[in-house]
Amino acid sequence: MISTLSCIASQPQNSYRSLVMALATAALAWAAIIPTIANADAIALTNPSFESPFIPTPPNPEEFNQEEIAAPFLTGWTETGPITNFGEFSGMLATGVFLNIPLVVEPATETTPAVVIPAIPNATDRQVAFMQIVANPDPEEIVSVSQETAENFAPDLSYQFSLDIGASITIGVNGTPENPALIELHIGYFDIADDFQSVAMNEDPIGADDLEVLLLKTFSVTTPILDVSDPAIGQPIAVLIRQTGGTGGAFNFDNAQLFNSIPEPTSAILFATTMALTIHRRRHA
């Protein structure tokens, strides 16, 4: 009778141990498949915070003058897209740099306060980039800025591109609800025909609903761990910021960063270790 009771009592314990062992084994297997990204190394980008070309502070910042506070080019970046028609910038490219200072767009009157474009609160530097499509004759034409780095894709690594993005003061005209203006972040390479081949893109394109007006938020895209057979291996790494969707997109950018990362299965190993310790404690309880 006693031996029978002991056998019955041991069954739940044995079942528990079997379950925990199965979980620990699964965790180790999961670690081999989906590793945590660690040991990140920065990959150099030219003009990552868009401080070039340098824009001097205008003599009277309270007088809104487009030509004094912005420039239509980004040093070190390749710009593509339509020509816009935007005030004194008629005929400029749809991208450029913007001086990050408060500006009075409309002076105060006896009945109305001044309309001021504030500086972007969390921009840590003097200038930000902009992508602004005010008049696009071809809705299918894609606007982008890109940069090819001096480093090549290597096997068994993952890559991450991050960018601070904000909505400009004209975010209210960002396309239409049916065809909103959106931002895509890509990591990829340019093929022999100089066409961009994307290795990874942010899962959800970034639109007005994701942003704050004149406030920067960080977004990123991460590649999978690249196998040696991937066509990107050996190609120079490139990043691309692309606007798609409706006419009227107006976005600000700052602080572009690119990293490569060695995969390290820390989270899953920690989980497996916890399971093993649980088993050990149960056996010695």
State CA 154 to chain mean position distance: 21
pLDDT for the residue 177:
65
pLDDT tens for the chain, 285 residues: list them. 444 444 434 455 555 566 556 555 555 554 444 444 456 799 999 999 999 999 998 888 777 777 788 888 899 999 887 666 555 555 556 788 889 988 887 888 999 988 888 888 888 899 999 887 655 545 566 789 999 999 999 999 999 999 999 987 654 455 566 677 889 999 999 999 999 999 999 988 898 788 888 889 999 999 999 999 999 999 999 999 998 876 667 889 999 999 998 665 554 455 455 555 555 555 555
pLDDT for the residue 7:
47
Structural domain includes residue 273: no
At position 169, the amino acid (one-letter code) is I
Q: Which of 92, 166, 160, 158 is nearest to 128 (CA)?
A: 166
Structural domain includes residue 237: yes
pLDDT for the residue 230:
97
Cα 13 to Cα 2, 6, 108, 259: the distances in Å are 17, 11, 78, 47
- Tell the residue number behind the tokens 């400009």, with chain if given: 168
Domain hosting residue 145, numbered range = 36-266
HSE, side-chain direction, 13 A CA sphere, residue 76: 17
Structural domain includes residue 143: yes
Structural domain includes residue 285: no
Structural domain includes residue 125: yes
Alpha carbon distance 232, 227 (integer Å)? 9
Cα 277 to Cα 25, 104, 124, 268, 271: the distances in Å are 13, 64, 46, 14, 10
pLDDT for the residue 20:
52
- Tell the residue number behind the tokens 């120079």, with chain if given: 236
Q: Which of 263, 121, 251, 118 is nearest to 181 (CA)?
A: 251
CATH code at 121?
2.60.120.260
Structural domain includes residue 45: yes
DSSP state of 133: -
Q: Which of 258, 224, 225, 228 is nearest to 241 (CA)?
A: 258
pLDDT for the residue 148:
98
Q: Do 102 and 60 touch, CB atoms closer than 8 A?
A: no
Alpha carbon distance 82, 188 (integer Å)? 23
Mapped to the 3 state alphabet, what secondary structure does 92-127 carry? Answer: CECEEEEECCCEEEECCCCCCCCEEECCCCCCCCCE
Structural domain includes residue 141: yes
At position 217, the amino acid (one-letter code) is K
pLDDT for the residue 181:
80
The DSSP result for 227-248, as a single string, is PTT-TTTTSEEEEEEEEESSTT
How many structural domains is the chain composed of? Answer: 1
pLDDT for the residue 103:
83
Alpha carbon distance 117, 105 (integer Å)? 7
> Cα-Cα-Cα-Cα dihedral of 101, 89, 185, 187, to 10°?
-110
Structural domain includes residue 284: no
